[in-house]
Amino acid sequence: MQDLRNSTAFVTGGASGIGLGMVRAFLDSGMRVVVADVRPDHLDAAAEALDAGDKCLFVELDVTDRAGMGRAADAAEEAFGPVHILCNNAGIGMLGDIRLVGYDDWDWCLGVNLGGVVNGIQTFLPRMLAHGRPAHIVNTSSIGAICPGPNGVPYLTAKAAVIALSDTLRADLAGSNVGVTTLIPGPTATRIHEVAALRPERFARTGLKPIEDRLAAGPIFTGGIPPETVGTMVRDAIVAERPYVVTHGAFRPFVEAHFAQILDAIPPATEQEAAALAAMMAGSLADLAGTAS
């Protein structure tokens, strides 16, 4: 997307943190923006801070609510016309040893951090393909998804899945009017630590409550980069149609070490094996193409 002026973006988790950083970058580029968020207090604060007049629409949205996502898409189109950029950014932080994690934690974390992305794609992608204009989807992952560590199994499972989802989506949409970018942020000055305020009663059975109560006292990271910096990086990646945005260069050696372990585990291929694999893949892809047509 070379020119963002007068186009429309829909940003989930858009009323604070990285989402709000994206909103600011889009507004600065002359766009209209739908700010969707589950917290009414954050929406009110964002509306006051942005003071964007008729350039912004503020929508209360739980991204796990598929019907609600559809209604929000309808409201966006009624206010601004077709949506050109979708940012599946809404997420919840979840930290703690796996021995403290229960089914409620898995269901909630996967439902928001992965299911919310799925719901955004299922709702908006058909509309983007139908209107046929240049469009783009941005899915928010995490640096921990490619540089994993302890105390975040459900969270990093979801964020790693977002990368696989985005990569496959990009392959499926090659040659269409819709591009795909994966955002992989490192420590950023956000309010992701306020997880206790977001946990629904139906997911209250958790061993993580003491941790979430402590997190409520202050940010997880000190010295994180400003969300506005991330928002600008995302906007520039959309214009340049780049597949990834990774915010922190300092993580490069850790990511290299992680992938080096995977590469070291791959045995060398014989010529016969390579030829058989190429033939198998070509046949499978041809079969799938025939089915799709």
Q: What is the CATH classification number for the domain harbouring 97?
A: 3.40.50.720
Residue that is last in its domain, among 214, 231, 247: 247
Instruction: Give per-residue pLDDT as tens, 53-76.
Output: 999 999 999 999 999 999 999 999
Instruction: Report yes or no: 22 and 87 within 8 Å, Cβ to Cβ.
Output: yes
Active-site pick, 26, 58, 155, 251: 155
* Long-range CB contacts for residues 50-55, cutoff 8 Å, separation at least 24: 50/23, 50/24, 52/27, 55/27, 55/31
Is the confidence at residue 293, as pLDDT, over 60? no
CA angle, 222 as apex, 220 and 228 as ends, to 5°?
95
Closest CA to 241 of 184, 178, 185: 178
The answer to whether residues 195 and 93 belong to one domain is: yes
The answer to whether residues 207 and 177 belong to one domain is: yes
Instruction: Report yes or no: 10 and 85 within 8 Å, Cβ to Cβ.
Output: yes
| pLDDT value of position 285 | 54
Looking at the structure of the chain, the number of domains it has is: 2
The answer to whether residues 96 and 16 belong to one domain is: yes
In a domain, 55, yes or no: yes
Please state which of the ranges 2-6, 69-73, 249-253 shows the lowest mean pLDDT: 2-6
**pTM of structure:** 0.93
Domain hosting 262: range is 254-293
The encoded tokens of residue 274 equal: 């390579």
The answer to whether residues 137 and 280 belong to one domain is: no
The answer to whether residues 77 and 203 belong to one domain is: yes
The answer to whether residues 169 and 63 belong to one domain is: yes
155 is catalytic: yes
